[in-house]
């Protein structure tokens, strides 16, 4: 098809086709009668190609939407596998901690043929709470809980910042466990609220056991 302009419309993007179509349409009153037929043909060809590219956008979009959905499903599977393997790791570490806790370890060491595990107690035990504070008895709340109070003050000032027009203050409170009181009761071997435990946790460090030359190793 012969064109009035030198543009290769087949290589124009969708956005460029819109611009080119608008430019051609605005030129209709500026060309001679002899050129007008060619200009109208180019406008029509531009419009057809533009519509085709617009339809193509839908196919591209739906293709990528489908890929996003596939990715989301794969991510769910990966997250599930990660969660499973983390649970296995924690189970193995828990077994090593239990071996240490029951006195079966050589000090802090548990030694196999190839690997040695250092089971090192954390400096301070952890507090684990599985119950809701609302379920604690009033005397337990009085002893083992405290109130966290967050005060947020908002100032509305003049444009030059020199005058406070209005101040608003919001106070949010919530009951939270009192770790110092819980640790103190634990050290005194006193009763803690239901669902509250103080647990000694350990760090696990793994080292490879190097055997001397000539030693047998499977």
What CA–CA distance (Å, rounded) separates 95 from 101? 10
Q: Residues near 153 by Cβ (< 8 Å), separated by ≥ 6? A: 167, 168, 169
Give the E-state strand segments of the chain in sequence order.
109-111, 115-121, 126-129, 145-157, 164-177, 196-199, 202-208
Tokens of 60: 């591209």
Q: What global pTM score does this model have? A: 0.56
The encoded tokens of residue 165 equal: 């027009």
**CA–CA separation, 143 and 150 (whole Å):** 21
Query: Where are the domains positioned within the chain?
Result: 1-104, 122-199
Q: How many CB atoms lie within 10 A of CB 186?
A: 16
CB 74 within 8 A of CB 67: no
Per-residue pLDDT of the chain (218 residues; tens, 9 = 90+): 566 676 788 888 888 888 888 888 888 877 777 788 788 888 888 888 888 888 888 999 999 999 999 999 999 999 999 999 999 999 999 999 999 989 999 999 999 999 999 999 999 999 999 999 999 999 999 999 999 999 999 999 999 988 999 999 999 999 999 999 999 999 999 999 999 999 988 999 999 988 765 555 44
Q: What is the DSSP letter of 190?
A: P
Contact at 8 Å (CB) between 9 and 42? Answer: yes
DSSP E strands, 25-64: none
The torsion of the CA quartet 45, 47, 53, 54, rounded to 10 degrees, works out to -170
- Please, is 196 exposed, middle or buried when counting C-beta atoms within 10 Å of its C-beta (0-12, 13-18, 19+)? buried
Q: How far is the C-alpha of 196 from the C-alpha of 186, rounded, in Å? A: 10
Q: Measure the CA–CA gap between 206 and 192, rounded to whole angstroms.
A: 35
Q: Which residues contact 163 (CB under 8 A, 6 or more apart)?
A: 157
Encoded tokens for 161: 């910042």
């Amino acid at each position: 098809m012969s064109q009035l302009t030198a543009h290769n419309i087949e290589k124009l993007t969708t956005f460029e086709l819109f611009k080119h179509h608008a430019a051609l349409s605005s030129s209709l009153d500026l060309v001679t009668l002899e050129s007008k037929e060619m200009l109208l043909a180019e406008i029509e060809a531009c419009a057809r190609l533009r519509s085709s590219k617009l339809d193509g956008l839908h196919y591209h979009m739906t293709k990528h939407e489908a890929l996003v959905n596939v990715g989301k499903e794969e991510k769910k599977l990966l997250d599930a596998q990660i969660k499973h393997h983390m649970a296995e790791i924690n189970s193995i570490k828990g077994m090593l901690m239990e071996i240490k806790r029951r006195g079966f370890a050589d000090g802090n060491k548990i030694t196999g043929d190839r690997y040695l595990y250092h089971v090192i107690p954390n400096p301070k035990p952890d507090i684990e709470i599985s119950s809701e504070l609302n379920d604690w008895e009033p005397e337990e709340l009085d002893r083992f809980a405290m109130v966290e109070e967050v005060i947020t003050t908002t100032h509305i000032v003049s444009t030059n910042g020199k005058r406070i027009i209005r101040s608003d203050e919001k106070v949010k409170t919530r009951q939270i466990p009192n770790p110092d009181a819980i640790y103190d009761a634990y050290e005194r071997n006193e009763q803690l609220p239901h669902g509250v435990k103080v647990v000694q946790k350990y760090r696990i460090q793994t080292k490879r056991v190097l055997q001397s030359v000539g030693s047998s190793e499977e």
